[in-house]
Amino acid sequence: MSIKISETLTFECETGNYHTFCPISCVAWLYQKIEDSFFLVVGTKTCGYFLQNALGVMIFAEPRYAMAELEEGDISAQLNDYEELKRLCIQIKKDRNPSVIIWIGTCTTEIIKMDLEGMAPKLETEIEIPIVVARANGLDYAFTQGEDTVLAAIAHRCPGHNDKNQKINDKSIQEFFSFLPVKIKEKTNKSFTEKNEFSLVLFGSLPSTVAAQLSLELKRQSIHVSGWLPAERYTDLPTLGEKVYVCGVNPFLSRTATTLMRRRKCKLIGAPFPIGPDGTRAWIEKICSVFNIETKGLEQREQQVWESLKNYLNLVRGKSVFFMGDNLLEISLARFLIRCGMIVYEIGIPYMDKRYQAAELKLLQETCKKMCIPMPRIVEKPDNYNQIQRMRELQPDLAITGMAHANPLEARGINTKWSVEFTFAQIHGFTNAKDVLELITRPLRRNNNLENLGWTNLIKIQKG
């Protein structure tokens, strides 16, 4: 079977199955980001085993999450779910006293039609702690989409603009302008209106240091970030409304974006995502264009980062990579690697929202054209069996895959890198582009070291 790669982006859809990590794993990074929160995962012992194994390394950090295990009596609706959840939440309040409790609904709660949304408001009134309900079941969502459902639920709790206070502020501003000379007043008033009529809120969970870096990059372009969703503390959620522009930093937050636009009436900035120097520059440029600000020194900033990556670029240039699909970061990572000189045979992705990722897809096309290489095909919900057949023919230098397929592929002579590592690593912004290439080149550098030691032929003999 010969595979022809089209000169334009082609989209395909295969089995419809999500061959990904379970989305309840979003608790691993969200509980660290929202420092005054507590996550209660409602599910079976299987869910508990998964959390214990996937997040077990964090046990000594006193994580703020727990498991509400459903027994046979709960599943057959013989027991009172409300009373049990009430008991657990009262215990959580006594032990931790969080600012918010977030219930994570798993597959089982969907199957037995557990009314978490109905119970939460009543219980919230009783225990006097906000309770946010988010569905993160593997039936409907892929790995990183757990964060998407949590942020979409939290977006409903963000404060709105207070019209009364806004009128007072506008009056104070006009009084300030009245003391200025006419020419200065006109110029200042125009500048203020253009730059400060709308505020900017960024959404997506990033480590505090990375969020600070992105905010600083925008500050260098005279753009102030008024808030992040999620904030480090639930009590510091950003104000949302019609005069707020929102921009995402991750490609898997399409439901959050929809909620912010439809429910909170915010204006979405459709930009590529700040992954790699090229993506970060395009992300900043798009935000600046919306606020009518001309960028300064951005091209030089990007060039400096590319110069610092030369050693890595020499390793990856001309190498081929195949994305099996796992964490929805595939389009952004593929675009960055193409810009680095790699050849991408296929981009597998569990779920593709073409509207939310429109700017990223456009940048991918522009990058392929600039690098003079064919456009990779994009396969939504890929069939892993078919992908392995394609990899057997294409023989890529590297496969970025879920944990389940890594060892079998390595045994067949294909270098692999776990896609989950990109989820937990710091990969956003100019300064973290190095970390992406550090992950990508690790298996390639390992092979080079083996060749230098003369072990390559021995390994081939053993595999043969």
Please state the residue numbers annotated as binding site for [4Fe-4S] cluster.
22, 47, 107
CA distance 49 to 331: 31
Q: Which long-range contacts (CB under 8 A, 24 or more apart) does 298-306 make?
A: 298/221, 301/430, 302/277, 302/278, 302/430, 305/277, 305/430, 305/431, 305/433, 306/277
Residues in the chain: 464
Comparing CA positions, the residue from 85, 93, 90, 86 lying closest to residue 64 is 93
- CA-to-CA distance for 295 and 317, rounded, in angstroms? 30
Cα 279 from chain centroid? 14
Q: Which two tokens stand for residue 80?
A: 């009172």
Binding residues: 22, 47, 107
Q: What are phi and psi of 218, to 5 degrees?
A: -70, -35
- What's the rounded Cα separation, in Å, for the pair 117 and 134? 9
**287 to each of 101, 280, 359, 367, 432, how far by Cα in Å?**
33, 11, 12, 20, 20
CB 433 within 8 A of CB 332: no
212 residue type, one letter: A
Count of Cβ atoms closer than 10 Å to residue 5 Cβ: 15
As a whole number of angstroms, the distance between CA 306 and CA 33 comes to 30
- Beta bridge partners of residue 68, listed in sequence order: 42
Q: For residue 349, what are the β-bridge partners?
A: 380
Pairwise CA distance, residues 28 & 9, whole Å = 34
Region for 429 from its dihedrals, namely left if φ exceeds 0, alpha if ψ lies in -120 to 50, beta otherwise = left
Q: How far apart are CA 162 and CA 463, in angstroms?
A: 68
DSSP per-residue codes, 388-449: HHHHHHH--SEEEE-HHHHHHHHHTT--EEETHHHHHS--BSSTTHHHHHHHHHHHHHHHHH
Q: Smallest Cα–Cα separation from 244: which of 229, 270, 264?
A: 264
